[in-house]
Each structure stands twice: as structure tokens, then as C-alpha cells.
């Protein structure tokens, strides 16, 4: 079973690299360079590239493979699906989360308060927080669907959290979600996470449109590169 294990590693390494913004939409991926970079042989890298192409994370540009980019419509379509699936996860978590899982969510929020001015770290913590809610839904098929959405979200790396004020807002919105889950109020949990995803999408759209005068123009450039 060793080859399967190695194959999975190359796939995960590559996906993580895209998720962390090491490779951006439009960047060309070369099998031999990736094999060297990750210290694995070319066969698992080739298989990982094929799998990611099938999943739409990579696209053909002539004879080369590049990281796919999402256009304006695709971004909107992705956020609609994400909001509905996250809403369902929060609703189910309100029904099924163990008290221990809810305590873990509160601990995450407390730690995240210290990261509000460190967007890179908060971005990663945000993914872990949502993953924890997915798990608390206790529905494996929903978790699978959310993994698919998250894979595509890797193409919009450098999250909206880097926008001014979004760090603090994110933590507050997360608190509202967990309060509703703890109160076992599925409707409120669904509504709170919809609001959270909607704000994140709105921020992304603003970042993608034009630089806000006097605010982080370098970040705006990165955001545009990410779409
Ligand atoms: Zn979030």
C-alpha cells in the first residue's frame, strides 16, 4: 500500500502549497520541479497533478498545467454553495455537537482573539474553526461536500481576513455562531454563519474591485492575483 500513501502525500502537499498561496492562480506547475521541491519521485507528483486537474484546481494552458483562476461568476457561485453547506453544518452542529466539541470551539475563539492583527495565522485558524464545526455536524457526507468546496476555496488564497477590521469582525461573528450552537438553536446558528460568509464574500468583492484609498494597496494586488 506504500504507493497509495506516497501518492496521497504528494496530492496533499501540492494542495496545501496552493492553499497557502505558494502557488497562485496562473502559476505554471512543472512535474520535475515539484518532485524536487517535495522530495518525492515524479510518478506520485504526476498522479497528484492529474487528480487536481480533474478536480478543477489546475487547468491546461497549452501544454502546461497552471493553477486555475476563478472568474467573478465562479466566485459568486462558490460562495452561494459554501454559505448553504456551512449553514447546514452549523444547524446540525446545534443538534449534534458534544459539549466537549463546543468547548473546543470556544477555546479556538479565545486563542483567535490574540491573532486579530496577524491575518496569515488567523486565516489558518479560521479554516480550523470551520473544520471543527463541520466535524461537529456529525454528518460524513456533508463533511465530504465541504471538503470539495474548501479545495476550490484554496484558489482564493489570502483570505478576506487580511482586509482592515475583518480580523476583529471575524472573531465576533464566530462567537455568534458558537453561542447559537451552544443554545441548541439551529435556526440562529444557520443565520449567524450565513451572515459571516456573506460578510466575507462582500469583503472579497470590495478587495477585488479597486484599492480603498490609503488602505493596503499591496494586499489588494494580492487579492486580484488570487481571482
Ligand atoms: Zn470564519
Q: Domain extents for the chain?
A: 2-67, 72-225
pLDDT by residue (tens digit) across 206-223? 887 644 444 443 444 444
3-state helix, strand, coil in the chain (%, to 5): 75, 5, 20
- Whole-number Å distance, alpha carbon 121 to ligand 1 midpoint, is 13
Residue 89 CA to ligand 1 centre (angstroms): 13
Handedness of CA 28, 29, 32, 38 (dihedral sign): positive
How far does the chain reach from its first CA to its final CA, in angstroms?
38
The set of cell numbers assigned to 179 is 453561542
59 neighbors 65 (Cβ within 8 angstroms): yes
* Ligand 1 midpoint to CA 111 (Å): 14
- pLDDT score at 108: 98
Ligand 1 center to 216 CA (angstroms): 21
Res 81: pLDDT: 97
Query: What is the CATH class of 72-225?
Result: mainly alpha
Q: Which CATH number fits domain 2-67: 3.40.50.720, 1.10.10.10, 3.30.70.60, 3.40.50.970?
A: 1.10.10.10
HSE-CB for 152 with a 13 A CA cutoff: 17
81 CA → ligand 1 middle, Å: 15
Q: Distance from the CA of 128 to the center of ligand 1, in angstroms? A: 9
DSSP 41: -
pLDDT digits (tens, 9 = 90+) for 79-125: 999 999 999 999 999 999 999 999 999 999 999 999 999 998 999 99
Residue 74: predicted pLDDT: 93
Starting at the earlier edge strand, list the strands of the sheet with 58-61: 28-29, 64-67, 58-61
C-alpha grid cell, residue 122? 488567523
- Output the pTM of the full model: 0.82
Say how many Å lie between the CA of residue 54 and the centre of ligand 1: 28
Amino acid at each position: 500500500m506504500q504507493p497509495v500513501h506516497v501518492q496521497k502525500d504528494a496530492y496533499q502537499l501540492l494542495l496545501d502549497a496552493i492553499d497557502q498561496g505558494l502557488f497562485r492562480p496562473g502559476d505554471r506547475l512543472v512535474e520535475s520541479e515539484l518532485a524536487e521541491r517535495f522530495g518525492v519521485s515524479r510518478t506520485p507528483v504526476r498522479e497528484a497533478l492529474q487528480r487536481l486537474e480533474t478536480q478543477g484546481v489546475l487547468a491546461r494552458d497549452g501544454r502546461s498545467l497552471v493553477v486555475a483562476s476563478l472568474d467573478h461568476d465562479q466566485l459568486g457561485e462558490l460562495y452561494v454553495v459554501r454559505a448553504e453547506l456551512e449553514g447546514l453544518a452549523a444547524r446540525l452542529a446545534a443538534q449534534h455537537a458534544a459539549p466537549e466539541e463546543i468547548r473546543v470551539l470556544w477555546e479556538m475563539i479565545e486563542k483567535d482573539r490574540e491573532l486579530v492583527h496577524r491575518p496569515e495565522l488567523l486565516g489558518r485558524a479560521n479554516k480550523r474553526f470551520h473544520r471543527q464545526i463541520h466535524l461537529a455536524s456529525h454528518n460524513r457526507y456533508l463533511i465530504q461536500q465541504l471538503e470539495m468546496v474548501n479545495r476550490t476555496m484554496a484558489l482564493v488564497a489570502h483570505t478576506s481576513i487580511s482586509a482592515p477590521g475583518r480580523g476583529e469582525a471575524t472573531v465576533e461573528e464566530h462567537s455568534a455562531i458558537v453561542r447559537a450552537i451552544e443554545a441548541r438553536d439551529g435556526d440562529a446558528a444557520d443565520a449567524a454563519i450565513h451572515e459571516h460568509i456573506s460578510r466575507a464574500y462582500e469583503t472579497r468583492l470590495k478587495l477585488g474591485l479597486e484599492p480603498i484609498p490609503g488602505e493596503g494597496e499591496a494586499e489588494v494586488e494580492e487579492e486580484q492575483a488570487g481571482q
